[in-house]
Structure 1
Amino acid sequence: MTTTAAHPVNIRATPGGGGAVVRVVPRAATLRVFSEAPGGWLEVGEDQPFGWVHASVLDR
């Protein structure tokens, strides 16, 4: 599955709003979803996972 960011979003080290920001993805970047965690968190990346982002800030 690919997902496109609706606006710049923070990619976090762990699922949840308290995780450290490891990367900022620019608006309209295409991401691949690798897994899902409870609460709407998606593990995303390109060829491999970068980290976690909440599904509410993405367009599928």
Structure 2
Amino acid sequence: MEFTEHPTDILLLAYVDGELDLNQRHAVEDLLAHDMAACQRVAQFQDLNRLLKEAFPEGSTVA
């Protein structure tokens, strides 16, 4: 999986992490309805989050 920075990456990451307010979330959802590249980025970020959660389960400690 290759990641390159796009101007909307911070917004998309915040969307995936559930950190947006209602208006921002609606704006991203409108973008996703019309932009296949943005949809692909969201899917990549969701995959990355899943991999991180698997690698570092809640309650685990890092030495």
Normalised by the size of structure 2, how large is the TM-score?
0.25
Taking structure 1 as the reference length, the TM-score comes to 0.26
Larger Rg: 2
More strand by share: 1
Q: Which has the higher contact order (CA 8 A, sep 6+)?
A: 1
